[in-house]
Amino acid sequence: MNLALFDLDNTLLAGDSDFEWAQYLISRGVLDREAYETRNQDFYDQYKAGTLDIHAFLDFQLKPLSRHPRRVLDAWHADFMTTRILPIITPKGRELVRRHQAEGALTALVTATNSFITAPIAHELGIAHLVATEPAQKDGEFTGSVSGTPSFREGKIARVEAWLAGLGRDWRSFGQSWFYSDSLNDLPLLEKVSHPVAVDPDPSLARQARERGWPIISLR
């Protein structure tokens, strides 16, 4: 069996679900535009530049989840999926996932974005396994904190290995492994697999991919 791992934001999506969720909440008046829009853009720019403090970002991103009942959040997310996410899922991304699945690979979405945002997206893409940053919960409601290691940079490797261990597997269980990503932040996991693929990469990852002879593809 082979393993195929997919980053989400700016890889299978022609956009960033983290960024879009905050913008969606701003558009609904849930978050104050003046207070949040500039910070949201700043964090997004830091991510693209490879300078993001993941814990500062998660504090910004997860705190709003703790201020609203889960049933309200779920209703907002359903609208968010329809208005913000479905339009940016790339057909070529769907096709790539289906191709690996048709070849019998174990597939997973591996993303730094939290699982509240990304679990419905994974379902929409037909990917049964999700490795994501986990928001802490108490009695079914979000606390505003993160649970465990964020799925970011080297943390993605730790979270993937924990997921595989839960299936009774490890890297040696697979003849070949793929990881598709757009971001230099994902360099650790790209270096771990046997087939790293840069997808519509940021300039830093594009440079690394060219120097290392990695494939560069576009799903746009």
What positions carry a catalytic annotation? Answer: 7, 9
* Cα 22–Cα 9–Cα 73 angle in degrees, nearest 5: 35
Q: At 26, list the tokens.
A: 């701003």
> Coil, helix or strand for 110?
strand
Residue 15 backbone phi and psi in degrees, to 5: 165, -175
Helix residue spans in the chain (DSSP H): 17-27, 33-49, 54-62, 70-80, 91-102, 115-125, 154-166, 187-192, 203-212
- Asked whether the beta carbons of 120 and 17 are under 8 A apart, the reply is no
| Cβ-based neighbours of 22, under 8 Å, separated by 6 or more | 31, 36, 40, 61
CA dist., res. 37 & res. 76, Å (int): 18
